[in-house]
């Protein structure tokens, strides 16, 4: 899951996550964060949750925290929630004696 649909406010900006997450993006950052939240917060596997965490970390690193403090806090909180989901997947795998591939 490396690309998402452009929010309506993007005016043709690429769906590349690093472009959306940068402060140079033409997109409304609040719409971008909502789009990422919707698409990334419901992984169905351990591996998918791991990838989604990496994506959210990239988004967080590219946000200008001074200009987008609310969005940065939202992404940070969602990283916490997604990490908990990843832990849940890991616990399920361990209880079934299935270890994640690394």
Q: Are 29 and 69 in contact (CB under 8 A)?
A: no
Q: Is residue 88 in some structural domain?
A: yes
Q: Is residue 21 in some structural domain?
A: no
* Rounded average pLDDT over 1-24: 43
Counted domains in the chain: 1
Give the global pTM.
0.61
Q: Is residue 4 in some structural domain?
A: no
Q: Is residue 17 in some structural domain?
A: no
Q: Is residue 66 in some structural domain?
A: yes
How confident is the model over 13-69, as pLDDT tens digits? 334 444 444 444 445 555 666 666 667 888 999 999 999 999 999 989 998 888 989
- 75 is in which domain, residue-wise? 44-96
Q: Is residue 18 in some structural domain?
A: no
């Amino acid at each position: 899951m490396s690309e998402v649909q452009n929010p309506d406010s993007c005016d043709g900006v690429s769906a590349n996550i690093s472009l959306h997450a940068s402060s140079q993006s033409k997109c409304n950052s609040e719409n971008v964060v909502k789009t990422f939240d919707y698409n990334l917060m419901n992984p169905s596997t351990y591996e998918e949750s791991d990838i989604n965490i990496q994506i959210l970390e990239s988004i967080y690193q590219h946000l200008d925290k001074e200009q987008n403090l609310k969005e940065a806090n939202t992404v940070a909180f969602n990283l916490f929630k997604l990490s908990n989901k990843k832990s849940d997947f890991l616990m399920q795998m361990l209880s079934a004696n299935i270890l994640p591939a690394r």
